[in-house]
Structure formats: C-alpha cells, structure tokens
C-alpha cells in the first residue's frame, strides 16, 4: 500500500514539474537579479510566462546610499505601460522600476543597470565538466551566463553517445582554436552546399561552433552554424573577431 502511495506522489510531483514551466511559445526569458550591483551579478535567467508576466528591473537605494538592482518576472497587472505599479511601504528606496516584454533578456537594459563592459564576452554556460548547470537536453533549458576571458569567445556543442539522446553544451573557447574551427566548418559547408555526395547527406549529429557576439551561442549548434554560414556568405561575419558585422 505504501509503495503505491509513494509512486502516486512521485508521479504527481513529476507532472507538476513538467507543467510548471510554460510551453516554448509562451516563454519569456528575463535576467534574474537579487541585490545586484551590476549586470555581471545577474548571471541567470528566469523563465516567465509571456501571457501573464513581463520582465522587470528595479533600482533600489540602500541605507548606505548605494545602488542595488532586483529583476526577474512580474505580473503584467503590476506593470503599467512599462512601469511597475507602486505598492506602498514595500517600495521605500526604489528610484526606478520598469517592465518590458518585447524580447528575451530585455530587462538587462532597464533602469540604467551598469554593463561592466562584458557585452562581447558574456556567453551561455552549461557544461557537465565546468559549470553548476550541466549540459542540457533542450537548448532553452540553459539559463546560466558566464563572462569569458579576453582571449575567448562563445562556444556551443551538440554531444551524442550511442543509446542516449543528444545533449547540448555551452561555454567559452580559445579564440585562436575557434578561428581554425570556423574556417573548417565553413569549408565543409561550402563543399556540401547543393551537393548530393553521400558524405554530405549523412551529416553527423555531432556539432561544434564558435561566435564572438554576446549571448550568440544560444540554441541548437546546427541552427547557430547555419545562421553564421548565411552571414559569412553575405559578408556579414568577421572571421577575425567571429562577430557579426551587421544584424541579420
């Protein structure tokens, strides 16, 4: 009897976990901040429901006259045309409170939160070997950022072991190694473009890709590679910096 009851409880908790997160088309990814001094203190994202929530950012002046920031998801009813609705005594010390819902990570630009000049080296970071959030089964489940070293750029990899599903890993990689990698990747794609060769029709599920823009390693490695290849062929991808020279 106890075994059946425990099983029922386990199934219930599993279903709650599955349905607690909104479907992909309803997800809004917002920067998660808690008493942060700068954006570099907000290295995770919150998954919000865009039907009922928006991203928000608040600037608070402390008793020591320093600025701190809080951010994440907030009910649309608390956001009034992009400005959070005041709720009385709880808001003492708040000098800015703004909301947005037009794009993922949009609250990283609200209330003047300082960027710390990390824009070019801020990358998604999910790796079993190095990060607290390991490789993920879906790209959208990676919600952690890291600031890469000055000689690194963003990196993404699809990993596969026989008998197991594909997983996705994200992080930083040496820029020199990445330039060699991307040159080879684009050469292989040139070779296989509109080609019916057997080797081109049976591409491996494995994938490695690098890019130099902030947060550019979000998504499936193959989709990132296709996007960068189109930019490369149109002359909008710099092979030295691995950054886009214009927005697609």
Condensed to tens digits (0 to 9), the pLDDT of residues 100-135 reads: 999 999 999 899 888 765 545 689 999 987 777 888
Residues contacting 155, CB < 8 A, separation 6+: 123, 170, 171, 172, 173, 178, 208, 209, 210, 217
Kindly state the tokens that stand for 119: 């824009």
Select the more confidently predicted residue: 13 or 104.
104
Interval 126-135: pLDDT, tens: 998 777 788 8
Average pLDDT, the chain: 82
Per-residue pLDDT at 119: 47
- Would you give the DSSP letter of residue 225? H
pTM for this predicted structure: 0.73
Per-residue pLDDT at 19: 44
Cβ atoms of residues 210 and 184 within 8 Å: no
Select the more confidently predicted residue: 91 or 132.
132
Q: How confident is the model at residue 8 (pLDDT cuts 50, 70, 90)?
A: very low
Per-residue pLDDT at 1: 44
Interval 175-223: pLDDT, tens: 999 999 999 999 989 888 766 556 565 556 789 999 998 889 989 999 9
What are the start-end ranges of the E strands in 107-192?
122-124, 145-147, 152-159, 167-174
Per-residue pLDDT at 58: 95
Asked if the model's pLDDT at residue 140 lies above 90, the reply is no
């Amino acid at each position: 009897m106890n075994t059946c009851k425990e099983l029922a409880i386990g199934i219930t908790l599993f279903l709650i976990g599955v349905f607690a997160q909104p479907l992909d088309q309803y997800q809004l990814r917002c920067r998660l901040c808690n008493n942060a001094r700068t954006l570099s203190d907000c290295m995770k994202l919150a998954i919000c429901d865009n039907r009922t929530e928006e991203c928000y950012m608040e600037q608070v002046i402390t008793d020591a006259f320093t600025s701190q920031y809080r951010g994440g998801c907030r009910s649309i009813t608390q956001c009034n045309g992009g400005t959070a609705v005041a709720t009385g005594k709880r808001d003492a010390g708040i000098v800015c409170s703004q909301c947005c819902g037009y794009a993922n990570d949009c609250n990283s630009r609200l209330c003047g939160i300082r960027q710390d000049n990390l824009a070019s080296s801020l990358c998604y970071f999910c790796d079993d070997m190095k990060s607290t959030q390991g490789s993920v089964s879906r790209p959208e489940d990676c919600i952690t950022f890291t600031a890469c070293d000055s000689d690194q750029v963003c990196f993404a990899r699809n990993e596969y072991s026989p008998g197991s599903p594909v997983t996705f890993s994200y992080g930083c990689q040496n820029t020199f190694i990445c330039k060699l990698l991307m040159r080879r990747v684009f050469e292989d794609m040139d070779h296989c473009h509109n080609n019916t060769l057997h080797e081109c029709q049976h591409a491996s599920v494995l994938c490695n890709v690098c890019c130099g823009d902030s947060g550019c390693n979000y998504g499936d490695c193959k989709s990132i590679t296709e996007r960068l290849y189109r930019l490369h062929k149109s002359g909008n991808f710099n092979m030295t910096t691995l950054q886009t020279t214009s927005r697609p």
